[in-house]
Amino acid sequence: MTRVLLIEDDPAVRKGVHLALRRRGHEVEAAASGETGLLALDRFRPELVLLDLMLPGMSGLEVCRRIRETQQIPIIILSARGDDIDMVVGLEAGADDYVVKPASGEVLQARMRAVLRRVVGEGGGDGAREAGSGAPSASAASSSRSSPSSSSVTYGALTIDRAGLLVTKDGRDVVLAPSELKLLLFLSDSPGQVFSRQQLLEQVWEHSFYGDVRLVDACVMRLRAKIEDDSRAPTYVQTVRGFGYRFGPL
Amino acid sequence: MQSLGPDLPFPPRREDLQNLVVQLDRAGGSRNWRTYAQYEDGPVVPGPWGGGVGSSAGGAGGTGGAAKGGAAVTDGLRKAVREQHAPIFQRVDRDGQPWLAIGMPVDFTDTDAGGGGNGTGRTGPDATPSATPQRGKPSGLIVYAEFALADEKADISALVTAAQAGALPALALAVVPALFAARRVLRPVRRLRAAAERITSGELDTRLPVTGRDELADLTVTFNEMARALEKDDAELRRMEANARRFAADVSHELRTPLAAMSAVTEVLDEDAARLDPDTADAVRLISDETTKLARMVEDLIEVSRFDAGAADLHLDEIDVAVALRKTLQLRGWQDQVETDLPEGLRARFDPRRIDVVVANLVGNALRHGGTPVRLTAYETSGRLRIDVADQGPGIDPQALPHVFDRFYKADAARARSSGSGLGLAIAMENVRLHGGTLRAANGPDGGAVFTVEVPVDPLGGAGVGAGPEPGGEGPDVTAPVSGAGDTGTGDTGAGDTGAGDTGAGDTGTEDAKNEEGRP
Task: Supply the DSSP string of B30-92, one letter for each residue.
Answer: GGTEEEEEEETTS--EE-TTHHHHSSSS-TTS-HHHHHHHTTT--HHHHHHHHHHTS-EEEEE
Strand B33-39: give its sheet, edge to edge.
Answer: B45-46, B33-39, B137-148, B97-108, B88-94
Q: Quickly count helices (H) and strands (E) in chain B.
A: 13, 12
Query: ipTM exceeding 0.85?
Result: no
- Residue B257 with chain A: CB contacts under 8 Å: 10, 12-13, 80, 101
- CA nearest A156: which of A140, A167, A144? A167
Could you give phi then psi for residue B144, rounded to 5 degrees? -115, 150
Residue of A10, A210, A212, A240 to mutate when probing chain B, most B C-beta within 10 A: A210
Contact list, B256 vs chain A (CB under 8 Å): 80, 100-102
Q: Cβ-count burial of B128 within 10 angstroms (0-12 exposed, 13-18 middle, 19+ buried)?
A: exposed
Taking CB atoms and an 8 Å limit, are B504 and A211 in contact across chains?
no
* Residue pairs between chains A and B whose CB atoms are closer than 8 Å: 138
Q: Where are the alpha helices (DSSP H) in B370-409?
A: none
Q: Do B353 and A242 touch (CB under 8 A)?
A: no
Q: Sign of dihedral through CA atoms B132, B134, B137, B141?
A: negative
Q: Do A197 and B317 touch (CB under 8 A)?
A: yes
Alpha-carbon distance A102 to nearest alpha carbon in chain B (angstroms): 4
**Which amino acid would we find at residue B12?**
P
Residue ranges for chain A with pLDDT beneath 50: 119-149
From chain B, the residues in CB contact with A130 under 8 A are none
- Return the residue in A100, A209, A217, A245 with the most chain B beta carbons within 10 A, the one to mutate for interface testing: A209
Which of A12, A82, A131 is the closest to B261 by Cβ?
Answer: A12
Chain B residues touching residue A105 (CB < 8 angstroms): 263-268
For an interface test with B, which of A83, A200, A201 has the most B Cβ atoms less than 10 Å from its Cβ?
A83
Q: From edge to edge, which strands make up the β-sheet containing A194-196?
A: A194-196, A244-247, A237-240
Nearest residue in chain A measured CA to CA from B461: A242
Q: Which residues of chain B does A196 touch, with a Cβ-Cβ cutoff of 8 Å? A: 317, 517
**Residue B156: burial class (beta carbons within 10 Å; 0-12, 13-18, 19+):** exposed
Spacing of C-alpha B461 from chain mean position: 39
H or E stretch including A169? strand A166-169
Task: Quickly list H helices, chain A.
Answer: 11-23, 34-44, 60-70, 84-92, 105-120, 124-133, 136-143, 178-189, 197-200, 213-227
Q: Assess B217–A contact: CB distance below 8 Å, yes or no.
A: no
Task: Pick B302's closest partner by Cβ from A13, A82, A211.
Answer: A82
Name the A residues in 90-119 with CB < 8 Å from any B CB. 100-106, 108
pLDDT (tens place) for every residue of chain B, 520 residues total: 666 666 677 677 777 777 777 777 777 666 677 778 887 777 777 766 544 443 333 333 344 444 444 556 777 777 788 778 788 888 888 777 788 888 888 777 654 444 433 434 444 444 434 344 445 667 778 888 887 888 888 889 998 898 888 888 888 889 998 988 888 888 888 888 999 999 888 888 888 888 888 888 888 899 899 999 999 999 999 999 888 888 877 887 788 888 888 988 888 888 888 888 999 999 999 999 999 888 888 888 888 888 887 878 787 877 889 988 998 898 888 888 899 999 988 888 888 888 999 999 999 988 888 877 899 999 988 888 999 999 888 888 888 888 888 888 866 555 545 566 788 899 999 999 998 899 999 988 878 889 999 998 874 444 333 333 333 333 333 333 333 333 333 333 333 333 333 333 333 333 333 333 333 3
What residues of chain A, 165 to 184, have a C-beta less than 8 Å from chain B?
none
Question: Could you give the CA distance from residue A241 to residue A247 in angstroms, rounded to a whole number?
Answer: 14
Task: Give A20's contacts in chain B (Cβ within 8 Å).
Answer: 264-265, 267-268
CB-CB neighbors (< 8 A) of A241 in chain B: 460
* Dihedrals phi, psi of B318, to nearest 5 degrees: -90, 125
Is A191:A248 a contact under the CB 8 Å cutoff?
Answer: yes
Q: Which of B267, B302, B517 sits opposite A243 (nearest CB)?
A: B517
Burial of B366 (0-12, 13-18, 19+ CB in 10 A): buried
pTM for this prediction: 0.58
Q: What is the DSSP letter of B335?
A: T
Rounded Cα gap, residues B216 and B382, in angstroms:
53
DSSP letters, A124-165, are HHHHHHHHHH--HHHHHHHHTTT-GGGGEEEETTEEEETTTT
**Residue of chain A nearest B293, judged by CA positions:** A102
Helix runs in B340-448, H state only: 352-369, 424-434
Q: Give Cβ neighbours of residue B170 (< 8 Å, ≥ 6 apart).
A: none
CB contact under 8 A, B352 and A206: no
- Which of B261, B263, B353 is facing A210, going by the closest CB pair? B353
Tell me how far apart the alpha carbons of residues B492 and B50 are, in angstroms, rounded to a whole number: 111
Tell me if chain B has a CB within 8 Å of the CB of A80: yes
Per CB-CB distance under 8 Å, the chain A contacts of B349 are 242
Q: Is A132 on the interface with B (CB under 8 A)?
A: yes
Nearest CB to A102: which of B259, B311, B318?
Answer: B259
**How far lies B189's CA from each of B180, B182, B417, B476, in Å?**
14, 11, 59, 43
